[in-house]
Every structure is written in structure tokens, then in C-alpha cells.
């Protein structure tokens, strides 16, 4: 377990044990970014506050059942998004990034259908409508496959292909739109997509040989998993380093792409919250400096 997930587990335990101070700190920690996210999704400020309040309430109600397989931030964003989509059933509240609002819904199913098509060529894999009891297992397997895919891109610093995969699977753009945005040849985008699907499928087949499943892939499931795990979203600490311009140039470029070109609503909300905190810290430390340098004046007899 990493240090950050251990800290999150400790926080969760403290809240479960009814530690009011831990709960207060938890709200302080997350309310800024959640409110920022809600404000970009709903028109009225009061509605944004309502859904964030509801998110914390839902979190408390589910405390005993929460198994954090993603970060607490991602978990909270997941509840919040669900609250917003349920309450304001418009198309725009469903999108997770700005670029989807620009390119619209016409690009909707392209990558998923491609996965179906590729699998359909191989009769050894059955892609049928799945039973409920299999769904969780299948989604876990796909989540592992996608997590591994993204981790490989990051480890090898193949950020070009990570951007391609993100535009196709997270933003659901068509090949030609992704190619145009990245100023790449559409043929190259097709090849990268094919490679991604092949890796995902290889992982699924491996699991299947281990013995346990007839695999199926419903419409949009890859995108849903990518969204709910925020697979390509930079960590909060990386956003902080970006804010301080303290990242290697290729990673700085990637985070900039994720925030500005993709326009990930989750990360933009988190980033704006960081900016605000930095501004208020700077103001406070400036205030302290002024106080310290002038305090002698007031203590003079
Ligand atoms: Zn993001």
C-alpha cells in the first residue's frame, strides 16, 4: 500500500470511529474541489452547494460499505457526478471533459464498437450480454487491463500514445478528430488504437484461461471504467507540481494537455482549488511578513 493510500485508509478509519475532528478536516480538504466541479456542471450556485452537501451526506451513509479501490477524491467525485446526473438529467451534466462539449455526442460509440468488432473476429471469445453476477468480475478485469495499459504508457513515458488513448477512450473522440487535435496522421491513431485494444484483449484472455469467465463487453463500458477510475488523471500532487512549474517538460506538457485540451472537469476543479489555496497561503504569509516587520512600531513606549 502506498503512503497516500495508507493515509486515506487512516482517515477513513478515523471517520468511521466517529472522530469529529477528522471529519471536519476531511470536509475542509475536499469541499473546495467538489464545489468547483459542481459549479461547472450546474447553473445555480445554490444547486452546486446542495449537491456537494448531498455528496458528503451520501458518503457518511455509505461509510461502512466503502471499499476504496480508487482515491477518496475520485470516490467523492464519483458520488457527486452521480448526484448531478440524477438531479439534472441533461446531456451536458454527463460529460467529463470540455472537449466532449465541443465535439458533441456524434462520436459516441466508436472505440467501444471497435473493441466489439475486434473480439468478434475471434470465436474463442464470447462477447454476449452478461449476467449481473458476472458483471462486477468482468469490469474488474477490464479495469485491471486499462490500468496496466495506462501504467505502461507512463512508465515508458510514451505520452503521445497516452494522449491518443485518452482522447479515444476517455473523451470518446473519433480517430480523425483525435488525429487532428494532436496533429498526427489518422493512420497512426488507428494503429495505436488497435494496439491498445489488442493489449486489453490479451489481458482478458489471460484471465479467462485462468479459468473463470465468459467475457462480455457492453456498450460504453470501457469509457465508463476510464471515467470512474480517472485512469489518466494526474495525481493531486502532480497538479501541485504543475502549478509550481516544477515538472519535467514532457510531463508539464501532458498535464497542460489534460487540463486545457481535454479539459477534464475533475482535474480542472482540483487545480483551481489548489490555485485558490496557494493564493490564500501567499496572502497569509505576506500578511505575516508585514505584521512581523511592523510589530515593533506598536510595542514602542
Ligand atoms: Zn482528469
Residue-wise DSSP of 26-48 = HHHHHHHHHHHHHHHHSS-HHHH
Ligand 1 midpoint to CA 240 (Å): 13
pTM score over 0.85: no
Ligand 1 midpoint to CA 217 (Å): 24
Radius of gyration of the chain (CA): 22
Take residue 279 and report the three cell numbers written for it. 493564493
Q: What is the DSSP letter of 264?
A: B
Average pLDDT of the chain to the nearest whole number: 84
Take residue 287 and report the three cell numbers written for it. 500578511
- Please tell me the class of the 3-94 domain: mainly alpha
- pLDDT tens-digit profile of 69-82? 789 999 999 999 99
Long-range contacts of 217-222 (CB under 8 A, 24+ apart): 217/112, 217/115, 217/116, 217/119, 217/127, 217/138, 217/142, 218/129, 218/130, 219/109, 219/112, 220/108, 220/109, 220/112, 221/112, 221/139, 221/142, 222/111, 222/112, 222/115, 222/142, 222/146, 222/169
Phi, psi (deg, nearest 5) at residue 235: -65, 160
Ligand 1 midpoint to CA 48 (Å): 20
Domain extent listing, the chain: 3-94, 110-224, 233-285
Ligand 1 midpoint to CA 134 (Å): 29
Ligand 1 midpoint to CA 18 (Å): 32
**For residue 253, pLDDT beyond 80:** yes
- pLDDT tens-digit profile of 292-301? 877 777 765 5
Amino acid at each position: 500500500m502506498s503512503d497516500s493510500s495508507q493515509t486515506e485508509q487512516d482517515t477513513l478509519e478515523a471517520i468511521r470511529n466517529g472522530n469529529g475532528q477528522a471529519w471536519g478536516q476531511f470536509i475542509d480538504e475536499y469541499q473546495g474541489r467538489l464545489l468547483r466541479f459542481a459549479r461547472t456542471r450546474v447553473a445555480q450556485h445554490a444547486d452546486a452547494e446542495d449537491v456537494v452537501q448531498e455528496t458528503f451526506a451520501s458518503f457518511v451513509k455509505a461509510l461502512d460499505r466503502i471499499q476504496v479501490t480508487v482515491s477518496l477524491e475520485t470516490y467523492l467525485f464519483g458520488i457527486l457526478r452521480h448526484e448531478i446526473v440524477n438531479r439534472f438529467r441533461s446531456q451536458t451534466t454527463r460529460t467529463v471533459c470540455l472537449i466532449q462539449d465541443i465535439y458533441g455526442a456524434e462520436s459516441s460509440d466508436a472505440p467501444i464498437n471497435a473493441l466489439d468488432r475486434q473480439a468478434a473476429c475471434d470465436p474463442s471469445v464470447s462477447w454476449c450480454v452478461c449476467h449481473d453476477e458476472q458483471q462486477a468480475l468482468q469490469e474488474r478485469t477490464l479495469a485491471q487491463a486499462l490500468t496496466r495499459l495506462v501504467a505502461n504508457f507512463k512508465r515508458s513515458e510514451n505520452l503521445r500514445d497516452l494522449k491518443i488513448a485518452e482522447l479515444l477512450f476517455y473523451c470518446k473522440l473519433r480517430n480523425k478528430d483525435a488525429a487532428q487535435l494532436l496533429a498526427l496522421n489518422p493512420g497512426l491513431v488507428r494503429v495505436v488504437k488497435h494496439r491498445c485494444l489488442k493489449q486489453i484483449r490479451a489481458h482478458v484472455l489471460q484471465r479467462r484461461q485462468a479459468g473463470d469467465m465468459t467475457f462480455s463487453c457492453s456498450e460504453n463500458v470501457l469509457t465508463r471504467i476510464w471515467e470512474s477510475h480517472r485512469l489518466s488523471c494526474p495525481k493531486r500532487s502532480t497538479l501541485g507540481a504543475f502549478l509550481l512549474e516544477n515538472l519535467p517538460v514532457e510531463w508539464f506538457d501532458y498535464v497542460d494537455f489534460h487540463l486545457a485540451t481535454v479539459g477534464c472537469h475533475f482535474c480542472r476543479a482540483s487545480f483551481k482549488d489548489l490555485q485558490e489555496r496557494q493564493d490564500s497561503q501567499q496572502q497569509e504569509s505576506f500578511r505575516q511578513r508585514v505584521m512581523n516587520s511592523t510589530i515593533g512600531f506598536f510595542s514602542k513606549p
